[in-house]
Structure 1
Amino acid sequence: MTDILILTHVDYCPPGHLAAVLEAHQLDYTVVRSDLGELDGYDLDRPHAVAVMGGPMSVNDDLPWIGAEVAALQHIIQRDIPLIGHCLGGQMIARALGAPVHRMPYTEVGWQPLVRRDKASPNPWLTHLPSEFPVYQWHSDTFGLPAGAEWLLSSPWCPNQAFAWGDKVLALQGHPEMTEALVTDWLRDWAHLLDETQASQQGLRQMLVDLPARVAALNRVAEGFYRHWLQLAFGDLRQPACPAA
Structure 2
Amino acid sequence: MKTCVAIRHLAFEDLDLLEGVLAKRGFSVRYLEAPTDDLAALDALAPDLMVVLGGPLGAYDEESFPFLLPEMKAVESRLRADRPILGLCLGAQIMARVLGAKVYPNPAGKEIGWSALSLTEAGENSPLAELQGAAVLHWHGDTFDLPHGADLLASTPVTPNQAFAWGQRALGLQFHAEVSGRGLERWFVGHLGEISAQPDLSVGQLRAETARHAPVIEKKGAAALGRWLDQVCA
TM-score by length of 2: 0.89
Question: Which of 110, 117, 127 pairs up with 2:113?
Answer: 110
Q: Does 1:76 align with 2:75?
A: no
**Residue of structure 2 equivalent to 1:88:** 90
1:165 Cα deviation from its structure 2 partner: 1.0
Q: How does 1:1-245 map to 2 (within 5 A)?
A: 1-61=1-61, 62=63, 63-105=65-107, 106-118=109-121, 122-130=124-132, 132-194=133-195, 195-197=197-199, 202-209=201-208, 211-235=210-234
Deviation sequence 1:168-227 (CA, Å, 0-9, x none): 1111111111122332222234233224536xxx54323222634522211223223321
Contact 2:156 2:162 in 1 (8 A): yes
Distance 1:124 1:76 in 2: 21
Distance 2:119 2:32 in 1: 32
Distance 2:192 2:218 in 1: 23
Aligned length: 230
Contact 1:49 1:233 in 2 (8 A): no
Unaligned runs of 5+ in 1: 236-245
Distance 2:59 2:209 in 1: 33
Distance 1:229 1:7, change over 3 A: farther
Contact 2:131 2:221 in 1 (8 A): no
Moved more, 212-221 or 95-104: 212-221
Distance 1:9 1:189, change over 3 A: closer
1:127 Cα deviation from its structure 2 partner: 3.3
Distance 1:156 1:233, change over 3 A: closer
Give the aligned residue type for 1:214. H
Distance 2:218 2:205 in 1: 19
1:34 Cα deviation from its structure 2 partner: 1.9
Distance 1:187 1:45, change over 3 A: closer
Distance 1:83 1:189, change over 3 A: closer
Give the aligned residue type for 1:231. D
Same amino acid, percent of matched pairs: 29
Q: Please state whether the residue corresponding to 1:197 is helix, strand or coil.
A: coil
TM-score by length of 1: 0.85
Contact 2:149 2:166 in 1 (8 A): yes
Distance 2:172 2:190 in 1: 27
Distance 2:37 2:140 in 1: 24
Contact 1:48 1:233 in 2 (8 A): no
Give the aligned residue type for 1:47. P
Structure 1 or 2: more helix by fraction = 2
1:79 Cα deviation from its structure 2 partner: 1.5
**Residue of structure 2 equivalent to 1:242:** none
